[in-house]
Chain A
Amino acid sequence: MALVLNDDEKMMRDMAEGFFADKAPVAALRKLRDSADATGFDRDLYAEMASMGFAGIVIPEEYDGLDMGFQAAGLLAEQMGKNLTASPFLSTAILAATILREAGSDEQKKAVLPKIASGETVIAVALDEGPKHNPAGIETTASKSGNGFVLNGSKAMVLDGHVADHMIVAARTSGEAGDPDGISFFMVDPKADGVSTERTVMVDAHNAARVEFDSVELDGDALIGELDAGATLQKVLAAGRGIVAAELLGAGQEAFRTTVEYIKERKQFGVAVGSFQALQHRSSHLYSELEIARSAVMGALTALDAGDENAGRYCSMAKSKLGDVAKLAALEGIQMHGGVGMTDEYDIGLYLKRVRVLQELLGDAAYHQNDYAKANKF
């Protein structure tokens, strides 16, 4: 397993590091938040990301993508986590692109993937419905009707749902709630009759929406690939979890870095508080956890790129580990910053908020630990 980056990946990492620090620092997120921006991300920035090839990072070359794989995509996500960058990268370039790449017909791929790669389209993927991640429990239904389908149900935590040009909706086409195999994916026009979208302004000032589908009529060709696409569901979950884990790594690492810098400067009792062993040992422990966490992300994403049959499991394990470690980094960050950590002026609070959202997204640590135990039959 490649646990050391190759030259192309290193180049991509260095390029992304400079790009996001320069174009999309934390100040950019503050500006979006404080101006209550209607879009919630900067379209010019996303266009520029696309021109760098970021939006097509997992899209095959024949559809104008870079096809560099998930390890490389994770390097981008890590930088976005580090800078708290708001963009449709996860919704569109990862989740939607993965579904289309895995399951789409040639025509669907030809019609949509190049537009994702070029950054001209934003696609929201509607998966979860309740307060917690639960893909097997999807209740939204798509029933056969003539040559098409009728969609009914409601979705929560639909990333970029309020500004999407298209939606890809996961709906049940067979089986009962609890059965992960009877799920199919449909391309839905957000402006179609019966679709109502409510933007949900989130704690981290990133984008999500609640979406209702009330007898929405779909053509037969709205179906992406085949009916009952359990394998596609597993693949998009794996990709999403692996990439969110990478974003958590970036956010956790940066929260830690700024905290260590802070305790070197902040003086109490006449000395830097970072000279106290109580803080040193917690910092060293956190350093260790973050190193372990980085390996989990790299291991999961290389497995995904290699087509390893356990890749989905590893992505789930990485999501579990990163949820816990990034949370610890954020919590320790606030505590070690002391009073100023509670102020809006300092960035550490923004990391706490972002990490909380990413932790929840596509399953928290407890969800994935439970899933690990079930998969290992205990």
Chain B
Amino acid sequence: MSDASLEEFRLDARAWLEENCPAEMREPVSGEEDICWGGRNVVWQSDAQKLWLERMAAKGWTVPTWPKAYGGAGLSRAEEKVVLSEMRHINARPPVTSFGIWMLGPALLKFGNEEQKLEHLPKIARGEIRWCQGYSEPNAGSDLASLATKAEDHGDHWIVNGQKVWTSYADQADWIFCLVRTDNSGSKHHGISFVLFDMETPGVEARPIKLISGKSPFCETFFEDVKVPKKNLVGEENKGWTIAKYLLTHEREGISAGYEGGRPMHEIASMSLGLDETGRLSDPMLRAKIAEAEIDEWAFNLTVARKLAEAKAGQSLGADSSMLKYYGTELNKRKFELMMDSAGHDGLEWEGERSKDGKLAKSWLRTKANSIEGGTSEVQLNIISKHILALPGA
């Protein structure tokens, strides 16, 4: 698309958003309750939230680059970038946050058959079905390929038995995309299949896990004689590991791109600790660490932008998604440690109005999972060693 027609597209997008984005949906997200996940059991936080999702879905802009037949708008990457930048311009909230959009969708587009795409993608685009990811198991964490949830062949369907863990929001999800073992005879990477099924299927049970942050975003999910039709297999039987890896790459990009925004660390520290007579933060050692971390944050955000720009210019992101995931999550942990250092005693409060029920402490604790979920930092470093540096035996 030429620059001129892209500019025209920008003006149209701006006008449409100005007209269609409700005022309440331009307010900053203040907590988890403001995030819209959609799904069969969605509880609308406001009429505006519902209207905003409906309008964006009708326009195809919840998934701008997906084909129109699957609920998207068929936009180019450049046009999508314009839509996103215009949304940022008016502080528009994402109409829906969804594992279906940023994880399953891309995998289905690449590996799904036409029937599966037509059945699932439009519902994801409209926020009608909320998905969860059945990957990790009690004995398959970093070593994901050793998963043991078993799918037994019964002709036109499988009977699935086993247990998943760290299933994000499984208790609220409508469907699951799940890795199961359909063959035990070969190497651990062989014999894994990628299947989809309804969480209301008899034999599925999700139990939330209470975390150190006091919250329960993850579940243990149990499968007892769960019947899964064979038409719900994505890709080839026993070759699900390829899809799993593809999807993990998307997950890592999503995780690493998610740390922008929020007030700068130095503002929090200045308010909490105060400045000395020369205008410097009264704790000089903390001051230096904050300056260093903020410079790193600037350079990291540039790196995310640079890697995405390179990918769009025809180069593949590949194993660099591991670099972004590793650096972004470690940086985010560092940042929250510094904010806790800055807040001092105040940051330790867990309940009450003053601390907004321990908002900082709970967020700080949540960040500890950043470098574990989606592949630990150590796993990312292994991937870089093997696929980028080509070190022996990695």
Residues of A within 8 A of B (CB): 1, 3-4, 260, 263-264, 271-272, 274-275, 277, 279-281, 283-285, 287-289, 291-296, 298-299, 314, 317-318, 320-321, 324, 365-366, 368-370, 372-374, 376-378
Contact = CB atoms under 8 A, between A and B. Distances in A.
Contact of A3 (B266, B292, B309, B381): B309
Interface centre among A272, A287, A365, A378 (most CB of B within 10 A): A378
Contact of A296 (B267, B298, B310): B298
B70 interface: no
Interface string B353-394: 000000000000000000000000010111011001111111
Contact of B327 (A288, A294, A369, A374): A288
A264 B385 CA distance: 11
The 5 closest A-B pairs by CB, nearest first: A275-B393, A284-B384, A3-B306, A295-B302, A280-B385
A314 B301 CA distance: 13
18 contacts: A4-B306, A260-B391, A264-B390, A264-B392, A284-B380, A284-B385, A287-B384, A287-B389, A292-B299, A299-B302, A317-B298, A321-B299, A369-B288, A369-B291, A369-B295, A372-B294, A373-B287, A378-B287
Nearest to A299: B302
Interface stretch (B91-99, B191-199, B236-244, B274-282): B274-282
Interface in B180-199: none
Overall SS of chain B's interface: helix
A373 B389 contact: no
Nearest to A281: B381
A295 B326 CA distance: 16
B385 to A, nearest CB: 4
Nearest to A274: B391
Given A275-B392, A281-B385, A287-B323, A292 B296 contact: yes
B73 interface: no
Contacts of A288: 323, 326-327, 384
Nearest to A283: B389
Contacts of B313: 4
Contacts of A4: 306, 309-310, 313
B384 A274 contact: no
Interface in B298-344: 298-300, 302-303, 305-306, 309-310, 313, 320, 323, 326-327
Given A291-B320, A292-B296, A295-B306, A280 B381 contact: yes
B264 interface: yes
Contacts of B298: 296, 299, 314, 317
Contacts of B380: 284
Contacts of A373: 266, 280-281, 287-288, 290-291
Interface of B: 264, 266-267, 269-270, 275, 279-281, 287-288, 290-292, 294-296, 298-300, 302-303, 305-306, 309-310, 313, 320, 323, 326-327, 378, 380-382, 384-385, 388-394
Contact of A378 (B280, B305, B378, B389): B280
A149 B391 CA distance: 62
B157 to A, nearest CB: 43
Contacts of A277: 382
Contacts, number: 136
Contacts of B327: 288-289, 291-292
Nearest to B264: A376
A260 to B, nearest CB: 6
Contacts of A1: 302, 305
Contacts of B394: 275, 280
A285 B389 CA distance: 11
Contacts of B296: 292, 321
Given A4-B310, A281-B378, A284-B381, A293 B299 contact: yes
Given A272-B393, A284-B384, A373-B291, 16 more contacts: A279-B391, A285-B381, A288-B326, A292-B299, A292-B303, A296-B299, A314-B298, A317-B295, A320-B292, A321-B296, A372-B294, A374-B280, A377-B275, A378-B266, A378-B267, A378-B280
Contacts of A376: 264, 266, 291, 294
Contacts of A3: 302, 305-306, 309
Interface centre among A272, A277, A298, A366 (most CB of B within 10 A): A277
Given A366-B288, A373-B266, A295 B310 contact: no
Contact of B391 (A275, A285, A377): A275
Contacts of A299: 298-299, 302
A366 B295 CA distance: 12
Contacts of B280: 373-374, 378
A287 B299 contact: no
A378 B270 contact: yes
Contacts of A298: 302, 306
Contacts of B385: 280-281, 283-284
Contact of B392 (A271, A287, A374): A271
Given A271-B392, A280-B385, A291 B303 contact: yes
Contacts of A378: 266-267, 269-270, 275, 280-281, 287, 290
A277 B294 CA distance: 30
Given A3-B309, A376-B266, A283 B292 contact: no
